[in-house]
Amino acid sequence: MGEVKYDNVTKEPFRPSMKSIIKKLFHFHAGLIVLGIYSSFMYHHDFVVLDTSAPDSTFFSLWVRQAFNNIAICTLFQVYLSVLLIPESLIANFLYNVEVIEVLHNPVFSSTSVSEFWGKKWNLVIHGMLKV
């Protein structure tokens, strides 16, 4: 489970509001739609993960194809993580009546630097997983 949000003054966990639950449900459904569109676009064009085999290709075309594969896989992985962690947050909202910190809500593109991504977003996820 993700990290619980605490009030700085009372040190009590935040309780989820109906607005935050509806927002998470909206983000989950929107993420599923984006994931479906992205996946169907990639697989419609015969996208094969890490397939760079081309017998008559030059070094440059292989490099471009590999770079495109890497970007496509990273984007797909980010969308999967972002979408699949929302139900986990909703389960914590309903079962434990606590608000959970949203760490992976667009972590790569919302970070302003590599150190912000690594220190403030990704390390929280790894720390939470290793603590369990």
Residue 41 has pLDDT above 70, yes or no: yes
Report residue 106's pLDDT band, with 50, 70 and 90 as the boundaries.
Answer: low
Cα-based angle 117, 120, 124 (whole degrees, multiple of 5): 110
Q: What is the pLDDT of residues 58-104, one digit of tens each?
A: 666 667 777 777 788 777 887 887 788 888 888 888 888 888 877 66
Domain positions in the chain: 18-103
If one compares 73 and 19, the residue with the highest pLDDT of the two is 19
Predicted structure pTM score: 0.65
Backbone angles phi, psi at 6, to 5 degrees: -120, 150
Residue 97: which residues within 8 A CB-CB, separation 6 or more? 15, 16
